[in-house]
Structure 1
Amino acid sequence: MRGAALMTGAMVTFTINDSFTKTLGDVLPLSQLLCLRGLGVTVCLIIMARVMGQLRFDLSLRDWIIMLLRTAGEIGGAYFFISALFHMPIANVSAIMQVLPLSVSLAGALFMGEALGRRRLLAILVGFGGVMLIVRPGGADFNIFSLYALGAVACVTLRDLIVRKLSRSVPSLMVSLTAAAGVTVSAGFVSLWDDWQPLNAHEAFNLAGATVFVIFGYIFSVAAMRVGEIGFVAPFRYASLLTAMILGVVVFGEFPNSLTLIGAGIVVATGIFTLLREQRLSLKRRVVPDRIR
């Protein structure tokens, strides 16, 4: 239960960070925002990794290459996600991102030879149908940034899939630190061609809020994985969608329409089914060999 509470806290704080970030869309260049926020996150993760004894640089060349590929996915995901967030309702972007458990399962079957039964495949297809209800290609509300949200899903799927190839000895905080540093450095490099904007007190407060809440999101998410059983706590990640809907109405005056709500419900239902099904199959794979022995 502590793990579930921590996962819920992680998703809520990450989404509050998204809300703070969205308020800066008309004020700061994306590169400046990512660079400034990334500096705070990187410093915090360095301190956390140091305190927890996870700041290690004696990793194998193979693990460094995998972490760099994962970082590339993180950079692409940050660019596409925040670009979509600046131009779409926060609840719509969050709902599209909830398809990640489905996209990771499908990509694992297609590219890594992982087993995918008929039930989970059907759930994935239904879930992607829910995404189409949210995106609605050709509809009046459809724009290029709907595709950016799907681009974020593709990049984060790559990120979450490639990490499965890491050695078990690689500390989780080291993986997060590498990604945060990669986003910060790449954004800083791109910002050399952008005009940095001065911040007034209100904008500085929003930037600080985004930084603080994304840091707490990292802390809670790492703690959730250490305290709780992954199969039990994973479904609580959908707390981010409820949080996004509430913040969309309260902060931005964005009311999701009925098709968006239906699509989000389908995505969440099929995602939870897929997570629970994977947990059940994982338990069977562990129990059967024990019985044979």
Structure 2
Amino acid sequence: MSWTEIKSAYAPLAKAASDGAPLAPHWDAFRTVVRKYESTPPYHLAALLKRLDDLRGDRDRSSIAILDQGCGGGLTLLFLAASGYTDIRGVDVHDSNCERWNALTRDCLGHPEDRFFVYDGRTLPFASQSIDLLISQEVLEHVHDDVLDTYYSEGARVLKPGGRALHSVPHRLVPYDSHTQTWFLHWLLPRRAWLRVLKALGRSNETAEHGLFLRWPGTHKSLLRRHFGTYRDVTSERLTGLIEMSYYDGNIGLRRRIGGLCRVPVVGAAFTAILSRLMMTDTVAQKTTDG
């Protein structure tokens, strides 16, 4: 239940930041909860922490410059800061959190300059080759076609040579769309017809109509090659580690059975190879191109 407890500690911190109340006591409480689980972090962040530790080598955690390209409520970045990775930056196209988290990074982390920004989805407000690790978690399905290439090229621009980019991308081959809570419709229908059916079923929403673009996974991978140089598909690692279920929506029993099958000797490897094509894609790209 680590993630449940961490989110519970995040809520009063977020409220204090929103209300303009003192942040230090809530930050200390949040950091205490995060560090309580340092040896057993939440499943969905364990791989991120491992890749960060591999990337930093002998350097101090606080020396690793991290950017969340589509940071939303900022919880992932605050979790990393509480874990010692305090050199954080976040951007989003919405402005609901930037001011309050800039107050936190100023008051609790000692950064005099802003670290959270609203941006236009195009130009990142950071210098070229200034970031060690870029994170993009379930963001690209909301990026419009006309800025998709720029999203990747800007991410590559700010990444240092040898830096890493972690992307988690829902795509068109995933049978269940969690945004509209429907199975297979996006497999069977072109986007306009899909949206009409969603509306008829009462499942349509603003996200689906104006900001949901489920693309083929090959689109993501070709853009990684173009802008970053090399990448690895690490989706199978998430499947074989599918043990902790407490913070998942949907059919937890099904997820538990899938995780168990993926860990069966011999058969599990084949099952994982097939299933990973039908799951949200996780990739690790390394900056090898110029720019």
Common fold by TM > 0.5? no
Q: More strand per residue: 1 or 2?
A: 2
Instruction: Say which structure is richer in helix.
Output: 1
TM-score (norm 1): 0.27
Structure number with the bigger relative contact order (C-alpha 8 A, sep ≥ 6) is: 1
Give the structure-2-normalised TM-score. 0.27
